Chain A
Amino acid sequence: MTSLANQILSHWNYLAVITLMMIGLYIAISRGNLVKKVMGMSVFQTSVILLYVSMAKVTGGTAPILIEGRDDIIYSNPLPHVLMLTAIVVGVATTALGLALIVRINEAYGTVEEDEIVAMDRAEDERDLRSEDAS
């Protein structure tokens, strides 16, 4: 049991990040409001950034900006930082596109609640069916 406790202690950072990721994923898949879905997605993506950067951290290290004439300094790993800069950009691009779609959906349906949109589509289908039967 102590070994598990020890492991949790030495990995607490990862566990906290995973908790955040899961809250984000939960918001993205469980909410009916489209704006909320996008927010959840953003929380999910931001947390993945923390996951990568956690991997890069070296205890006692510093930011990977070289200081001339010193070779006794420990630097954290720059590669995950680079990858996550890209991921942030991808994230904001997705958010912008998702929100642009939401604006258009709201104009077309008058709502941004998934249930209501599904109900409107279904009503439309039934109306079409009925008019077909009538003719």
Chain B
Amino acid sequence: MSDLASHLPVLQVLIPLLAAPLCFLLRKEAIVLPFTIAVSFACFAISMNLLSQVLGGDILVYEFGGWSRPYGIEYRVDILNAFVLVVVSGIAAVVFAVGPGQARRVIPEGREYLFYSAALLCLTGLLGVTITGDVFNIFVFLEISSLSSYILIALGLNRRALMAAFSYLIMGTIGATFLLIGIGFMYQATGTLNMVDMAHRIQVLGPTKGVLVALAFVMVGISIKLAVFPLHHWLPNAYSYAPPLVSAFLASTATKVAYYLLIRFTFGLFGAALVFETVGIDRLLLPLSIIAMFVGSIAAIYQTEFKRLLAYSSIAQIGYMTLGLSFATQAGVSAGLIHVFNHALMKGALFLVAACVTWRMGGTNLDVMKGLGQRMPFTMAAMVVAGLALVGVPGTVGFVSKWALVSAALEVDALWIAFLIMASSILALVYVWKVVEIAYFQTPEVELERREPPLRLLIPTWILAGAAIYFGIFSSYAVDVAELAAQQVFMVGL
């Protein structure tokens, strides 16, 4: 076990985990910022390496403390979670470089390093939840990511950020406690906490009352975290009042990890047969997903604040992901995963545009964005690109997602669902056009000279917006990995 390569699974989480307390010692922002960037890049590099190791179908296992399954805790990397690790750490690598931005104004003086510490803790939690092969370890790391995201959200400039963070804290804690109750019932039925061991034992047990109720609690707990309709009420406030950089990070990672958990618990613990055939969760998830697609998009159309519009759009986009899962097919899960990757890019880019606009205008109300197309051409061009991706225009990642989803729908002979996906895309066009129209065709109340945000903001924005085009044209990379992950999930179940 002595060579470094064999330790990569633990280093994936350990590096940001140790970096967070180290920020306390480094203190000076001039040191902490490059340190944080270096850590997030190291995480990204490790996740890419892990993905390349497991793509062939191998599964990496790391046993903590040298204790073998099921007595110790293990990390377990397969294509599915390696893929999510890449998304999370990749977004972190792009976004963390930006720093606290406007949130600086509410951070106590000289305590900027705590912002980075909180961001690293959030990253640690999300990575830890994704990579672990132990159900209780999921709970522990989920709480690390949740607590740090409550803190980060509360740093919004508007006082409403405090209330948004508090409401999310209450909802999130109820969700986590539901998950804990579900885990308790699963443990009670199987005697183990290791996911592989537990899955085998649940297979043998079949659908006992304890397992079924565990399923209900786990699913509700995760759905709160994922903001599945109708458990989404915490999300619009949290994402619109948080500092824009925090929204960019959380919108493109936190809900993705919750979606991963939904897939993992479905296929890796309870088993597809129990979840879909015995209980028929798909029959509930399908209508909820479709409602989310429409309610989210329609609500987005009526918003007068850019970030709030994006937040409602996220509810609709989460609907697309859960829609993919509700088909209960390999193509459906694959489509959902493709959308995880693609949505992370587009929403990340759009929230970073919001960060640029905030830097320039002090806020993101749609009326301050009047005429910004001429005054911040590069920023607004990124907005247009990511917005078109959100609609699903060919040549962007959004099109790849929609294509995969529509194909998955047609595969199960659900022409009407394919039609509804197109219909909701038109709604997306309406709200994206609304912003474009304001930015390019309306004249601002006060004349402003042309000025772009600093490069440390503009470059990350364009990396994500550029990726939204690049992976739209060269779609095979992400699509192949997502398909392999879905295939492995269906073949092995674990």
A and B touch in the complex (CB under 8 A): yes
Residues of A within 8 A of B (CB): 21, 25, 28-29, 34, 37-38, 41, 44-45, 48, 51-52, 55, 79-80, 83, 86-87, 90, 93-94, 97-98, 101-102, 104-105, 108-109, 117, 121, 132
Are B188 and A55 closer than 8 Å at their CB atoms? Answer: yes
8 Å CB contact of A97 from B150, B174, B184, B187:
B150
Flag whether B151 is at the interface (Cβ < 8 A).
yes
What's the nearest-Cβ distance from chain A to residue B149, in Å? 11
Tell me which residues across on chain A come within 8 A of B184, comparing CB atoms.
48, 51-52, 55
Given A90-B140, A101-B169: A51 and B181 interface contact (C-beta under 8 Å)? yes
Interface string of B113-146 (1 = CB under 8 A from A): 0000000000000000000000010011001000
Given A48-B181, A104-B154: A94 and B166 interface contact (C-beta under 8 Å)? no
Tell me which residues across on chain B come within 8 A of A28, comparing CB atoms.
170, 174
What's the nearest-Cβ distance from chain B to residue A39, in Å? 12
Task: State A98–B143 Cα separation when bound (angstroms).
Answer: 13
Given A48-B177, A83-B136, A90-B140: A97 and B169 interface contact (C-beta under 8 Å)? yes
Residues of B within 8 A of A (CB): 136, 139-140, 143, 147, 150-151, 154, 159-160, 162-163, 165-166, 169-170, 173-174, 177, 180-181, 184, 187-188, 193, 367
Are B147 and A93 closer than 8 Å at their CB atoms? Answer: yes
Are A98 and B169 closer than 8 Å at their CB atoms? Answer: yes
Tell me which residues across on chain B come within 8 A of A21, comparing CB atoms.
181
Tell me which residues across on chain A come within 8 A of B159, comparing CB atoms.
105, 108-109
Tell me which residues across on chain A come within 8 A of B174, comparing CB atoms.
25, 28-29, 41, 44
Interface residue SS majority, chain B: helix
Are B166 and A34 closer than 8 Å at their CB atoms? Answer: yes
Task: State A98–B367 Cα separation when bound (angstroms).
Answer: 34
Given A48-B180, A93-B147: A101 and B154 interface contact (C-beta under 8 Å)? yes
In the assembled complex, 13 residue pairs joining A and B whose CB atoms fall closer than 8 Å, in A order, are A41-B170, A44-B177, A55-B187, A87-B180, A90-B139, A90-B143, A94-B169, A97-B150, A97-B169, A101-B166, A102-B166, A117-B163, A121-B160
Are B180 and A108 closer than 8 Å at their CB atoms? Answer: no
When C-beta atoms are compared, the residue in chain A nearest to B142 turns out to be A90
Task: State A51–B180 Cα separation when bound (angstroms).
Answer: 11
Tell me which residues across on chain B come within 8 A of A51, comparing CB atoms.
181, 184
Task: State A102–B163 Cα separation when bound (angstroms).
Answer: 8
Are A101 and B188 closer than 8 Å at their CB atoms? Answer: no
When C-beta atoms are compared, the residue in chain B nearest to A24 turns out to be B177
Task: State A91–B193 Cα separation when bound (angstroms).
Answer: 21
What's the nearest-Cβ distance from chain A to residue B121, in Å? 12
Tell me which residues across on chain B come within 8 A of A87, comparing CB atoms.
139, 180
What's the nearest-Cβ distance from chain B to residue A102, in Å? 7
What's the nearest-Cβ distance from chain B to residue A82, in Å? 9
Are A97 and B170 closer than 8 Å at their CB atoms? Answer: no
Task: State A105–B163 Cα separation when bound (angstroms).
Answer: 7
Enumerate the 6 nearest inter-chain pairs by beta-carbon distance, A residue then B residue, closest first.
A108-B159, A101-B166, A90-B143, A105-B162, A104-B162, A55-B188
Tell me which residues across on chain A come within 8 A of B154, comparing CB atoms.
101, 104
Task: State A105–B166 Cα separation when bound (angstroms).
Answer: 9
Are B150 and A101 closer than 8 Å at their CB atoms? Answer: yes
Task: State A94–B145 Cα separation when bound (angstroms).
Answer: 12
Tell me which residues across on chain B come within 8 A of A104, comparing CB atoms.
154, 162
Task: State A51–B182 Cα separation when bound (angstroms).
Answer: 12
Given A48-B177, A48-B180: A101 and B162 interface contact (C-beta under 8 Å)? yes
Tell me which residues across on chain B come within 8 A of A48, comparing CB atoms.
177, 180-181, 184
Task: State A111–B357 Cα separation when bound (angstroms).
Answer: 32
What's the nearest-Cβ distance from chain A to residue B16, in Å? 18
Are A97 and B151 closer than 8 Å at their CB atoms? Answer: yes
Query: 13 additional contacts, CB 8 Å, given A87-B139, A90-B143?
Result: A38-B170, A41-B174, A48-B180, A83-B193, A93-B147, A94-B169, A98-B169, A101-B154, A101-B166, A101-B169, A104-B154, A108-B162, A117-B163
What's the nearest-Cβ distance from chain A to residue B307, in Å? 15
Given A28-B174, A29-B174: A98 and B140 interface contact (C-beta under 8 Å)? no
Tell me which residues across on chain A come within 8 A of B187, comparing CB atoms.
55, 80
Tell me which residues across on chain B come within 8 A of A83, comparing CB atoms.
136, 193
Task: State A57–B160 Cα separation when bound (angstroms).
Answer: 46
Are B170 and A37 closer than 8 Å at their CB atoms? Answer: yes
Task: State A98–B250 Cα separation when bound (angstroms).
Answer: 20
Tell me which residues across on chain A come within 8 A of B165, comparing CB atoms.
101
Tell me which residues across on chain B come within 8 A of A38, comparing CB atoms.
170
Identify the interface centre among A21, A29, A90: most chain B CB within 10 Å of its CB.
A90
